[in-house]
Amino acid sequence: MKYVFLVLTCLVCFSCKNEVKETSELPVTTSQTLELKYAEGFSVLDNGNYKTITITNPWPNAEKEYKYIVISKENAAKTTFLKDAYDGIILTPIEKVIVTSTTHIPALELLDVEETLIGFPGRDYISSEKTRARIDSDLVKEVGKNESLNTELILSLNPNLIVAFGVDGTSKSLNTIKNAQIPIIYNGDWVEKSPLAKAEWIKFFGVLFNKSAKADSIFNTIETNYLEAKKLAQNIKNSPSVLSGAMHKDVWYLPSGTSTEAKILKDANVNYLWQNTESKGSLALNFETVFTKAQDADLWISPSYYPSYKALEESNSHYANFEAFKNKSIYTFSNTTGATGGVTYYELGTARPDLVLKDIIKICHPDVLPDYNTTFFKPLK
């Protein structure tokens, strides 16, 4: 019996050594961190044979980081990573992807990988003509809503990856999908604190689709355009005063001075009347407070979702007492939509802050960009 036990022990040890050899990670041939100038919510380490993406801030006050391996199918066949060490293994090339926010659509299109999109929650919100054509051909399936994804349909589509938009990481739908071994990665572009930081998340998609060089080139162009427009605006001496937002029930919501919207207004060299405030979310004020400070504002930009002066006045007759209302100096992005009503600003504005900035400069300083036609903001009807 002792002899048998020794033989079995040797066999087990030999088997364990072989298993360790078979499941060892590929060697790190290089160690290079992806350059990020503005974005703080993710980082990328290129290890040569594979890349590691760390999502540090997928939503406000996130309590943990999320780590993912991005590796080719060929290299993945040569190694096995410890499952507990990572939140997902993403195999490339990605041929089928589901994204969950309209802000993800421009990145796919800019990188010329929109044909990989096979599903989206709330297709009517997509405004891009290119992706709408694919929707009309039923190449992009309707997969429910973000808070209640159609898990049965998603599992049947069997995507290589889902790029998720999360507010706290407790989605039951996403947990069900993850348990089916479909990798889910969180995109936190919306949490970033500056317009260019949000736009830099195209580099995140560049890593996923092995198009980092193209992503870098695209972002560099956007950054250059933004900074050049900002420089032009800083030379203007007269800064018009600006009001923003509108009432919802009894509360007037408007951007705080630390918001990306306020930063764009600052870069456009305008006097946003609440530019010196600090708040993690929107400011919530009563009508009297706003009216006292902004009744004589030169311009009113982004009056919530109201499409016209008539609709604005019908919702609250006191709006008509603002000088910007009397002078027809109100501008909105809510009327610039796709074929099914999706607001273009909510889709493309994050990826192209240079266009948003130019719109504001054109509105506030018309002579600075005389040949520019606004992309998102138009006069209120």
Same domain, 214 and 341: no
Same domain, 82 and 157: yes
Of 196, 222, 248, which residue is a domain's last?
222
> Which of 22-26, 168-172, 314-318, 342-346 has the weakest average pLDDT?
22-26
pTM of the model: 0.90
In a domain, 125, yes or no: yes
Same domain, 252 and 369: yes
Q: How far apart are CA 186 and CA 35, in angstroms?
A: 20
Q: Given pLDDT bands bounded at 50, 70 and 90, which one contains residue 29?
A: low
Helix (H) or strand (E) holding 330: strand 330-332
Same domain, 48 and 125: yes
Per-residue model confidence as pLDDT tens digits over 200-215: 999 999 999 999 999 9
> What mean pLDDT is predicted for residues 328-353?
97
Beta strand segments in 255-316, E = 271-272, 283-285, 299-301
In a domain, 259, yes or no: yes
Of 200, 222, 244, which residue is a domain's last?
222
Same domain, 326 and 358: yes
Cα 249 → chain centroid: 28
Assigned token pair, 86? 């990572």
Of the two residues 168 and 247, the one the predictor is more confident about is 247
Of 188, 222, 256, which residue is a domain's last?
222
Helix 353-364 / helix 260-267 crossing angle, nearest 10 deg = 50
> What mean pLDDT is predicted for residues 44-70?
94
In a domain, 14, yes or no: no
Same domain, 346 and 297: yes
Amino acid at 114: E
In a domain, 12, yes or no: no
pLDDT on residue 15: 41
pLDDT on residue 295: 98
Same domain, 108 and 197: yes
Same domain, 67 and 207: yes
The boundaries of the domain holding residue 53 are: 24-222
| Residue 13, pLDDT above cutoff 70 | no
Q: Given pLDDT bands bounded at 50, 70 and 90, which one contains residue 379?
A: very high
The C-alpha torsion from 308 through 311 and 315 to 319, rounded to 10°, is: 40
> What mean pLDDT is predicted for residues 157-184?
91
In a domain, 199, yes or no: yes
| Residue 24, pLDDT above cutoff 80 | no
Same domain, 188 and 254: no
In a domain, 50, yes or no: yes
Number of domain units in the chain: 2
Q: Given pLDDT bands bounded at 50, 70 and 90, which one contains residue 30?
A: low
| Residue 9, pLDDT above cutoff 70 | no
In a domain, 329, yes or no: yes
Same domain, 158 and 251: no
Using alpha carbons, list the distances in angstroms from residue 22 to 18, 29, 76, 88: 6, 19, 12, 20
3 state DSSP class of 298: coil
| Residue 100, pLDDT above cutoff 70 | yes
| Residue 16, pLDDT above cutoff 80 | no
Burial of 14 (0-12, 13-18, 19+ CB in 10 A): exposed
Q: Given pLDDT bands bounded at 50, 70 and 90, which one contains residue 170?
A: confident
Per-residue model confidence as pLDDT tens digits over 247-291: 999 999 999 999 999 999 999 999 999 999 988 789 999 999 999
Are 103 and 310 in contact by the 8 Å Cβ rule? The answer is no
Are 215 and 272 in contact by the 8 Å Cβ rule? The answer is no
Look up the CATH number of the domain holding residue 345: 3.40.50.1980
Same domain, 172 and 245: no
CB proximity list for 34: less than 8 A, separation 6 or greater: 43, 44, 45, 46, 203, 207, 212
Same domain, 178 and 245: no
In a domain, 47, yes or no: yes
Cα 241 → chain centroid: 29
Sheet holding 88-92, edge to edge: 32-33, 42-46, 51-55, 66-72, 88-92
